Amino acid sequence: MAASKIAVATLSLTHFRPFSSASMPSLSPSFSSRLVPHPPDLIKWVRREGGFVHHALNIAPSPDAHTGLGLLASDHIPKGSELIILPHNLPLRFESPEAGDSDEADSVLINLARQVPEELWSMKLGLKLLKERAKVGSFWWAYIGNLPEVFTVPIFFSGDDIKNLQYAPLLYQVNKRCRFLLDFEKEVKRTLDSIKPENHPFGGQTVDASSLGWAMAAVSSRAFRLYSKNLTDGTPTSVPMMLPLIDMCNHSFNSNARIIQEQDASMKLKVKVVAETEIEGNAPLTLNYGCLDNDLFLLDYGFVLPSNQYDYIELKYDEALLEAASIVAGISSENFSSPAPWQKFILTKLNLHGEAALLKVSIGGSEVVDGRLLAALRVLLSVDEEMVQKHDLSVLKSLSAEAPLGIANEVAALRTVIALCVIALGHFPTKIMEDETLLKKCESETSKLAIQFRLQKKSVIIDAMSNLTRRVKLLSSKAVSQG
Ligand SMILES: C[S@@+](CC[C@H](N)C(=O)[O-])C[C@H]1O[C@@H](n2cnc3c(N)ncnc32)[C@H](O)[C@@H]1O
């Protein structure tokens, strides 16, 4: 017994790297602080392991101080140039494509991963990342040592900062993730308590919600989905992977580089980054992470994009809310609370009525007004069943279909949406000007993010209101000119 205790002690001292910095970040961690103070040279490591890195690429703090480190071009790079090539063994994925190389510790990991809900896939790959982080001599150490020490995703916000987001759908998601991490911490502890030391995937270390959260955030903010063949039946599936060095690229919707997936001579995965445009010297290399709203950018990546064209606010389709909006808009219609049977029928087709109704609707984004909401308002504000029946649902749902049920109907529908916007704005506890003043005074990065997030949500509403007001004015002047 005593001997095995000594063996455990030796194992734990020499075969793992402590997770301590995941739960206790250094006193003033910044976006640029890495897991270890002087991490290995990542570019050299990629080249040494058979990868290619363009000679004019460097890792450096981004010109925009809030984006952490980035990849910068030191010289002009022509369009089409290959910038980075990673051979198949460099990406870090949950399951290695080489069959038969897994050990007992891997099967513990696989069993834990089975308990992670699909939507939190980043935790699954995060378990693998934690395993490699704990292992002395991990193949990926040069990569892992270069990962950020802290992440600004809301699971690490203080309670006040979470409240300061002021937006229920995001609060719900943040709470869900926090609750999952706390429950999963217990599950991981329970599983690891019964594991033999030599099979412990984290070198005998305690894994808590904080280290799990670090791993989940590292993956959600840095992994890319690539296509891979399913090992059992060969069907192509998208697999999240961490792509060393490539994940030093920051995001832009107008990115100057893109990822290409290829196969090498032995049909193994090869991941390339290619210049999509000419890249000037000193310019950052950027990738497009996707057409995401600010909820996802904040939840997964820990940043908020100003004037994000894909951002929107979520509302619940609710008769009482519509009734209130129509009163604010000065339009009286009883149809909101008691639609006629033909109107109910269309609402059911729009999935806004009935048992399986989906009541989430949106304002903002590329549509400006959720097509289902717009169609419902047009229909509820119409008394002309025959005219409504003439139109296809796709026309009734489209804002670019100009006044399909007549100008008066369209003005009433748009004014009701504008009133909905006024009500939605009123639900935020602070005004835009207050937020702007608070933002100037604010020193904490996470408090700033919370204020920026809610400011952007309010801007989405204001932009939608301006867009709709412009349309109402145009329609009204048309109505006047038509006499
Ligand atoms: C894939 S990593 C990019 C490298 C990262 N900047 C670093 O220091 O390691 C993604 C992270 O970079 C930051 N980032 C990337 N693009 C950004 C942007 N457009 N605005 C603000 N932060 C950004 C965020 O912290 C995000 O979680």
302 lines ligand 1 (CB under 6 A): yes
For tokens 């670090």, what's the residue? 214
247 lines ligand 1 (CB under 6 A): yes
Taking the centre of ligand 1 as the mean of its atom positions, its distance from the CA of residue 448, in whole angstroms, is: 16
Domain assignment present for residue 307? The answer is: no
User: Domain boundary at 264, 292, 320, which?
Assistant: 292
DSSP state, 72?
A: E
What is the CATH number for 80? 3.90.1410.10
Tokens linked to 420: 């909905």
Whether 283 and 318 map to the same domain: the answer is: no
Give residue 290's region: left, alpha or beta (phi > 0; psi -120 to 50): left
Taking the centre of ligand 1 as the mean of its atom positions, its distance from the CA of residue 84, in whole angstroms, is: 18
67 lines ligand 1 (CB under 6 A): yes
Q: How far apart are CA 390 and CA 384, in angstroms?
A: 10
221 lines ligand 1 (CB under 6 A): yes
Whether 286 and 323 map to the same domain: the answer is: no
SS3 track for 78-145: CCCCEEEEECCCCCECCCCCCCCCCCHHHHHHHHHHHCCCHHHHHHHHHHHHHHHHHECCCCCHHHHC
Residues 6+ away with beta carbon under 8 Å from 453: 165, 167, 170, 294, 298, 304
Domain assignment present for residue 9? The answer is: yes
Q: How far apart are CA 13 and CA 7, in angstroms?
A: 10
pLDDT at 478: 83
Which ranges of the chain have pLDDT less than 70? 1-18, 20-31, 96-102, 229-231, 483
How far CA 23 is from CA of 124, 206, 208, 210, in Å, comes to 19, 11, 8, 5
pLDDT at 230: 66
Whether 84 and 199 map to the same domain: the answer is: yes
Strand order across the 82-86 sheet: 52-53, 82-86, 269-275, 257-263
Contact call for residues 324 and 424 (beta carbons, < 8 A): no
Whether 96 and 194 map to the same domain: the answer is: yes
Residues 6+ away with beta carbon under 8 Å from 249: 70, 71, 257, 273, 284, 285, 286, 287
Q: In ligand 1, which atom is closest to the CA atom of 67?
A: 22
Q: In ligand 1, which atom is closest to the CA atom of 152?
A: 25
70 lines ligand 1 (CB under 6 A): yes
88 lines ligand 1 (CB under 6 A): no
250 lines ligand 1 (CB under 6 A): yes
Q: In ligand 1, which atom is closest to the CA atom of 147?
A: 9
Taking the centre of ligand 1 as the mean of its atom positions, its distance from the CA of residue 251, in whole angstroms, is: 7
Contact call for residues 189 and 269 (beta carbons, < 8 A): no
Whether 151 and 276 map to the same domain: the answer is: yes
For tokens 């704990």, what's the residue? 134
Q: How far apart are CA 44 and CA 74, in angstroms?
A: 17
Whether 159 and 65 map to the same domain: the answer is: yes
Rg (CA), the chain: 27
Other beta carbons within 10 Å of 422: 13
Taking the centre of ligand 1 as the mean of its atom positions, its distance from the CA of residue 250, in whole angstroms, is: 5
Nearest CA, atom 26, ligand 1: 301
Domain assignment present for residue 302? The answer is: no
122 lines ligand 1 (CB under 6 A): no
Q: In ligand 1, which atom is closest to the CA atom of 302?
A: 27
What is the CATH number for 324? 3.90.1420.10
pLDDT (tens digit, 9 = 90+) per residue, 270-323?
Answer: 999 999 999 999 999 999 999 999 999 999 999 999 999 999 999 999 999 999
Taking the centre of ligand 1 as the mean of its atom positions, its distance from the CA of residue 47, in whole angstroms, is: 23
What is the value of ipTM here, to two decimals? 1.00
Domain assignment present for residue 274? The answer is: yes
User: What is the number of domains present in the chain?
Assistant: 2
251 lines ligand 1 (CB under 6 A): yes
Kindly tell me the number of DSSP H helices and DSSP E strands found in the chain: 18, 13
Whether 424 and 364 map to the same domain: the answer is: yes
301 lines ligand 1 (CB under 6 A): yes
284 lines ligand 1 (CB under 6 A): no
Domain assignment present for residue 365? The answer is: yes
Range of the domain at 352: 312-481
| CA dihedral sign, ordered 336, 342, 345, 347 | negative
Q: How far apart are CA 437 and CA 478, in angstroms?
A: 41
Domain assignment present for residue 424? The answer is: yes
Residues 6+ away with beta carbon under 8 Å from 194: none
Burial classification of residue 221, based on how many CB atoms lie within 10 Å of its CB (0-12 exposed, 13-18 middle, 19 or more buried): buried
Taking the centre of ligand 1 as the mean of its atom positions, its distance from the CA of residue 248, in whole angstroms, is: 8
pLDDT at 14: 37
Whether 269 and 403 map to the same domain: the answer is: no
The strand pairing partners of 73, in sequence order, are 57
Whether 223 and 134 map to the same domain: the answer is: yes
Domain assignment present for residue 305? The answer is: no
Select from 301, 308, 309 the residue to mutate for testing ligand 1; criterion: most ligand atoms less than 8 Å from CB: 301
Q: How far apart are CA 278 and CA 256, in angstroms?
A: 8
Other beta carbons within 10 Å of 263: 10
Residues 6+ away with beta carbon under 8 Å from 390: none
Taking the centre of ligand 1 as the mean of its atom positions, its distance from the CA of residue 10, in whole angstroms, is: 38
User: Domain boundary at 261, 292, 323, which?
Assistant: 292
Whether 335 and 380 map to the same domain: the answer is: yes
Domain assignment present for residue 258? The answer is: yes
Whether 257 and 324 map to the same domain: the answer is: no
Q: In ligand 1, which atom is closest to the CA atom of 62?
A: 6
User: Domain boundary at 248, 263, 292, which?
Assistant: 292
Whether 334 and 284 map to the same domain: the answer is: no
220 lines ligand 1 (CB under 6 A): no
Phi, psi angle pair for 179, to nearest 5°: -60, -40
